[in-house]
Amino acid sequence: MQQRRLGSSGLEVSMIGLGCMGVSFGYGPAGEKKEMIALIRRAVERGVTFFDTAEVYGPWANEELVGEALEELRGQVVIATKFGFRLDPAGGPKWVGLDSRPEHIREVAEASLKRLRVEAIDLFYQHRVDPEVPIEEVAGAVGDLIREGKVKHFGLSEAGVGTIRRAHAVQPVAAVQSEYSLWTRGPEREVLPALEELGIGFVPYSPLGKGYLTGKIDAGTTFAATDFRNVLPRFTTEARAANLALVDLLQRVGGRQGATPAQVALAWLLAQRPWIVPIPGTTKAARLDENIQAAAVTLTAEELLEIDNAASKIQVEGARYPEHLEKMTGL
């Protein structure tokens, strides 16, 4: 698979990465450990070099699984993880708030290094902006870890332009990760132009709309009790029915390309900027292969224009998160 450079940071990764959260958290019951380790290693065999995790996924279980899966492949891959939540080990465990105090960032880094079985974290994102801690202090804390050789690159997740600029002035930001897809296009207004100006890469998470843009979900789909899509406004029965026009668009273009809706959705993202690297996630080998093959799909200028024109006329129904979670984003 071709490589892409995340902005001017020098960090090169496969043009499609793998979001690992879903193998152990979020989308219903966790996958069987041996199968999920095999899935991650299969991704490496097929050219994926970029893997995304976080301490809060599980919590902790996802980092441990990714670390075990990639330990013997360490020289071939880049692992991104995240800090920024305060976790309560009792009753879950679960996250109970934001915490980006410099001393906590250091604690998370030390723990993540052990779980990932690495000597340095390749890319260390602030998972969500903490309004109680100036971003300059956050950037400075990560900068200290970089100088100590424990972290290689600094990233931000779901941060607004003002925060990105302030952080970048203290410690260069290699990448910003935010939700971005054909049905979540907020970053286009301000974030993408600012990243282009500053030389920062962009990593879209949920590039397939949490599975919706694959065409495998409709109004009648049911989710496991532990699947977090049950609480998302955009996944109500009514919203899923209303948003099928987007899937129809992807199917129409894919029919001409010999591509699936998921592949068209990923190819569309890849065409937006040469420093964009989406990280679709899956627990299924067939879906992994399908997503990877999207790297070979090239949409024509006419098809890109068709998609943009048609999508601009589609009103996406439903907020992407409940209100209390939406407030934690800077977009």
Catalytically active residues are 57
Instruction: Quote the CA–CA distance of 112 and 325 in Å, as a whole number.
Output: 24
Q: Which of 42, 61, 40 minimizes the C-alpha distance to 51? A: 40
Long-range contacts of range 143-151, CB-CB < 8 Å, 24 or more positions apart? 143/170, 143/171, 144/102, 144/106, 145/105, 145/106, 145/109, 145/121, 146/171, 149/119, 149/120, 150/109, 150/110, 150/113, 150/120, 150/121, 151/109, 151/120, 151/121, 151/124
Spatial separation of the C-alpha atoms in residues 146 and 292, rounded to whole Å: 31
Q: Looking at the DSSP assignment, which residues form a beta bridge with residue 87? A: 95
The three-point CA angle 189-164-328 to 5° equals 80
